[in-house]
Structure 1
Amino acid sequence: MNEVMLPSRRNVVRTAAWTVPVVAATVGAPAFAASCGTTSHTWRLDWGNENTSDAFSTAYPAAPTTNAQGVRSGTATITGPAGTTPMTVSFTSTSVGTDTRTNNNLRVDAGTYPSIGGTGGTGLLLQHQNITSGRANSRQEVVIAFGRPVTNLQFSVTDIDSNDQQGNNSDFYDQVELTGTRSYTFTSRGGGNTYVVGAGTSNDPWHMYNNNTVANDSGANSDRGNVNVTYPGPVSSITLTYWTSRGSGNQAIFLSDFTFTAFGC
């Protein structure tokens, strides 16, 4: 005959005392994760960390200068409030055709460009040299990817302009495209007209209204070449394409600080 051994009262109490803390610890862990993943924050990618009124800071190691053509990339890491996981925003640049990117492409130079587009802050430089006219011949494509989906993404593309100084290596006519569903505004030049025109598509890229209006890189009148962009989202990545419709000189545009809404982790 098999004998069933029942636990003593002391063993039952001892087992209960051992297991209660384990259950309590297991239940408590998901609470933090749920809060981190359900609470939204307004993040700022601040190229020069000029904004000191919020809890966000940006680290952006300089992109490499060794590949004038091919693929070049840089990643900004944004640190947010306590309890959040840093957000990454990567910029992957591919040179298509014969244009050569300068060593400063995908870099930030606050000393030379302290207030791009009159924004009050520095920005990310996209720059070509020895340019060849025509989208099919040469262009730079930059994929901007976010570490997690974002909404209400806002930033400016600045210094979209033109220069008709043929023969002195300064001739260019900036053409800019952005993928995705977005709204945008331009700087007015009066009479219901704007400096930059176009829809930001491959068929109708953003460009200066004529072929010989230079917008300053920084300071006075530098907002003439601005396009202020808003993506309602959600957005995981967008692609910017940059080329010239005329010329053989150098050309450059900038990306301003980014603001967007995203979860803490």
Structure 2
Amino acid sequence: MPFSVATWNINSVRLRMPIVERLLIEQAPDVLCLQETKVPDELFPEKAFRKLGYEHIAFHGQKGYHGVATVARRPIEVVEKRRFCEIDDSRHLSVTVRAGGKAILLHNFYVPAGGDEPDPEINRKFRHKLDFVAEMNAIRAEHDEVSGSILVGDLNIAPLEHDVWSHKQLLKVVSHTPVETESFEAMRRAGNWVDLMRLNVPQEQKLYTWWSYRAQDWEASDRGRRLDHVWSSPNLVTNFAGYEILRPARGWERPSDHVPVIARFDLE
């Protein structure tokens, strides 16, 4: 079986633990990276994960907001819980995991959403988002013959024209403004990261991982955005075996507004 990594903004792991359990039972990824866990470390539901065979757990949380966690069926080792913009938000966690004879450095990110007004002069949340992405330039796709890097998470930016339901209508909407998309793609290239979700998918094809709670019928309107991403170092591209956006999860009971993305690699 290939090595698999799932990423999912769960919007409160304790509230939505039943659908997390469903994902792990039905899809059984080797590693699951969660964002927006909204739980302090001492209250993280470790027992529920261990019961399903996910014995290896790392988390970086806080009460009520943000938070990231990485759980795995194989050993992981925490590398870093990086602080961005001199703010003590829980938005990053990196671990190492072994697969296919390689030590994989796996980054789990939750980039700030940025608020509603795309003007950094009047919206401090948007300023924070831009500064956060700028600091991500320091996160490089480290690799050599015996190692590689994977970066996943809710990066809260839909960079390409067909990563949103309407490029024209969303150019002034936070998550798809030019200042965000240009800095985002520049940051990805600076780190030498490969956007695996677009690797073999034409840029003209729509790709979404998020549908707003505000839509009366999210499936019928299908006004989505690709806010969740999977990147890798160049040396893992030949091992990339494809991915799945688990769209049906948006219709599960008490769903997140994001759906899981599961990437697979030919690494035992």
- Larger C-alpha radius of gyration, 1 or 2? 1
Fold in common (TM above 0.5): no
Instruction: Report the TM-score when normalising by structure 1.
Output: 0.35
Higher relative contact order structure (alpha carbons within 8 Å, sequence separation ≥ 6): 1
The structure carrying a bigger strand percent of its residues is 1
Instruction: Report the TM-score when normalising by structure 2.
Output: 0.35
